[in-house]
Structure 1
Amino acid sequence: MRQASDFSQMIVDGTRQDADQIAESLSRWYVPVDVVPLAGVPRLRLRAACGALPGIRFSRSEIVDGLRILPRVAFDAVGFVLPTSGRLEVSGTREPASAGPNEVLAVDGTGCQALCYSPDFRTRSIAIDRGVLARRLAALIDRPISREIEFAPRIGAQAIRYGALSTLLACVTDETFGKSLGHSPFTAARMPAVLIDFILETWPHTYSREFEREPPLIAPRYVKAAVDFIEAHPQAPAPATDIAGFAGVSLRALQYGFRRFVGLSITEYQRRVRLQRSRAKLLTSADSIEAVARRWGFSNAGRFSHHFKAAFGLFPSELTRD
């Protein structure tokens, strides 16, 4: 059983603080960041109520004095931000994006270089770790995830899903809701799946059509066995014939199974797993790109960078920027 300690909360009280104090609070909650006032104001006013469940952070914030937040490391999560006043500008992602009232913005934390908040900005937001999203999506569609989940950059009030998402974010970011979760371990244990499922079902993304299938394709046991084998032995990719032997089928049957149920060839899936492990290592260690590439079976750093860019939309050097 999960305990109440799985839920945590932070309150920023809204008194004037200098940029370094605000950066320290945000760095403890998300990733290390720098904070720069927009108008040279020496002390800033920011009020925030933040809550966290495993793999999820949600908050309700009021930024009185405009500021810019500069992540110092990549944040391997996707944030969904619903401004109720003011405007947010995001740069460094594949396409610069912005949102104001009556819009919800999806922010890819991996490539984000700056978030610029206008004065008198108010918002409700939720951030979900990419690994948690991928694992939950794989469980929902009952097959491995073959490529990165990419979300539509924004949805507006005209979309049917906007009202439901707005209501949900208003609920989970309310301070009284957070306090209740801290004393309700059974509810807290179930909330991550509820929130993640809602996002995956309602926000347009790479795999949205999978939710329209009736019934969903269910991978045969031998495909799942092969996938498990590849996931367990990513550093030294085994020949496809050996994997087929482990799964107890012919090579041709396994190749067909991967194409139909995984959407990739066996070799492509092996490479995908190695790239995902490489990215996770680059995000969590100070190892060089060359060392990480070698560790996960890429002998040529240039080719590794090429495959990395094709898979994630940015080069490894961009992911490890200072």
Structure 2
Amino acid sequence: MVMRHGPTTERGDPFPIEAHSFRISDLDEARAFCAEFYYDVDLDLLDKIRPLALAADLVRLGPVTVGDIQFGADVAIGADLIDAYHINMPIAGAIGSEHRGAITVASPRRAAVYRPGAGAHAGRWSAECRSLGIRFDRAVLEAELSALLGRPVSGPIRFGASFDTTHGAGLTWCRMINLLRSEIANPHSALRQPLVAERYAQGLLGGLLFAVDHQYADALTAHAPPVRPRTVRRAVQVMEADPTHPFTTAELARIAGVSVRSLQEGFRRHVGFSPMGYLQHVRLGYARDELRHPVPGRDTVAAIAHAWGFGHLGRFAAAYRERYGESPSATLRGR
């Protein structure tokens, strides 16, 4: 049984929001749920007494998916490949798992972290265990890190295998996630408003980067990145506010109140991209998110490329492959 709560926005709306509630007793349906919202998984029932009784209440705010999940029976679950950043944060019980050769036990006091490009396998997820499964789109999280540092980064982010959720930045982030979880079933929540949801999702992205150890952590906490000039910030803001607009460098220079040459030099020094390169960077991130979560019967590579301002499909495909290491059609097919 599937129940859907709250708005699901169409492309072109300010920010996509989805809320769902699942109650599933069939193994194949449970595997399909995991594939739709998380990853292709191997899921097997280990319990000889209790049947599967999957309960999952889930919310998706753009690039962030948070699911409150309990299987209701002992199961073994694993994914051969994770293509996003993922957190397991149990509310009750514990989950032991293997990822990149390390064994990690997630509990209500410690969350487990999984990086893209490898698999993860839990030997047993007990019937009593209830956990939040939190998925972050890889491109968007890496772009957020780049924005916080004020310079491009080369992913993936090498997060530590786990982090403490009982104090410091880990506790703060845990509370933010739990607030979102508590609002899943509230149809009147402010978090269902696209402008609020977008900023909250961005806070979750940034908060994770400060809560978990990684190779850029010292650079994030050592000092604030150099402040970009007002003119550069203005151009960045208008592009991020309306990434499908057919901006030109000349138009952005007029908006910023500087010459084209000055704007180009400002972006080179303070952003690491040209103005048009930065716009392409933003658009590619949104296009990838839609390719990974297409609307059946509507979304094609061409439709998504054109919707995000790419007029030439060949150049879109080449830029996409260079950044993500696969073709847009491969992403759309889920491979």
TM-score scaled by structure 2? 0.61
Structure 2 match to 1:119: 124
* Secondary structure in 1 matching 2:310: coil
Cα distance change of structure 1 residues 97 and 107 upon mapping to structure 2, 3 Å threshold? farther
**Aligned mates of 1:237, 1:179 — CA distance in 2:** 37
Cα distance change of structure 1 residues 198 and 60 upon mapping to structure 2, 3 Å threshold? farther
* Secondary structure in 1 matching 2:88: strand
**Aligned mates of 1:294, 1:222 — CA distance in 2:** 29
1:226 aligns with 2:235: yes
**What are the equivalent positions in structure 2 for 1:1-322 lying under 5 Å apart?**
10=21, 17-23=25-31, 30=37, 36-37=43-44, 44-45=51-52, 48=55, 50=57, 52=59, 54=61, 55-59=64-68, 61=70, 64-67=74-77, 78-82=85-89, 85=94, 87-88=96-97, 99-101=103-105, 104-108=112-116, 116-121=121-126, 122=129, 124-130=131-137, 141=148, 150-156=156-162, 161=164, 164=167, 178=182, 196-204=205-213, 208-209=217-218, 211-231=220-240, 232=242, 234=244, 236-238=246-248, 240-283=249-292, 284-285=294-295, 286-293=298-305, 296-297=309-310, 299=312, 301=314, 303-321=315-333
Question: What per-residue deviation string (whole Å, max 9, x for no partner) do you get for residues 130-173 of structure 1?
Answer: 4885797688x496x8568743254247xxx5764886788788
* Secondary structure in 2 matching 1:118: strand
| Stretches of structure 2 lacking an aligned partner (at least 5 in a row) | 1-5, 7-16
Deviates more, 1:122-131 or 1:182-191: 182-191
TM-score scaled by structure 1? 0.63
Structure 2 match to 1:93: none
Q: Is the 8 A contact 2:55 2:70 kept in 1?
A: yes
Cα distance change of structure 1 residues 193 and 222 upon mapping to structure 2, 3 Å threshold? closer
Q: Is the 8 A contact 2:43 2:75 kept in 1?
A: no
Aligned amino acid, residue 80 of structure 1: I
Cα distance change of structure 1 residues 40 and 61 upon mapping to structure 2, 3 Å threshold? closer
Q: Is the 8 A contact 2:160 2:214 kept in 1?
A: no
**Aligned mates of 2:281, 2:134 — CA distance in 1:** 24
**Aligned mates of 1:38, 1:264 — CA distance in 2:** 50
Cα distance change of structure 1 residues 180 and 10 upon mapping to structure 2, 3 Å threshold? closer
By how many angstroms is 1:268 displaced? Answer: 2.0
Q: Is the 8 A contact 1:57 1:126 kept in 2?
A: yes
Aligned amino acid, residue 75 of structure 2: D
**Aligned mates of 1:126, 1:120 — CA distance in 2:** 13
Q: Percent identity?
A: 19
Question: What per-residue deviation string (whole Å, max 9, x for no partner) do you get for residues 45-99 of structure 1?
Answer: 355564648545143545612245799xx98x63212576554467xxxxx6775
Q: Is the 8 A contact 2:31 2:43 kept in 1?
A: no
Question: What per-residue deviation string (whole Å, max 9, x for no partner) do you get for residues 85-126 of structure 1?
Answer: 554467xxxxx6775316722254xx78x7654334556334
**Aligned mates of 2:55, 2:272 — CA distance in 1:** 43
Cα distance change of structure 1 residues 205 and 245 upon mapping to structure 2, 3 Å threshold? farther
Q: Is the 8 A contact 1:48 1:60 kept in 2?
A: yes
Aligned amino acid, residue 243 of structure 1: L
Aligned amino acid, residue 324 of structure 2: F
Aligned amino acid, residue 211 of structure 2: T
Cα distance change of structure 1 residues 266 and 242 upon mapping to structure 2, 3 Å threshold? same
| Stretches of structure 1 lacking an aligned partner (at least 5 in a row) | 91-95
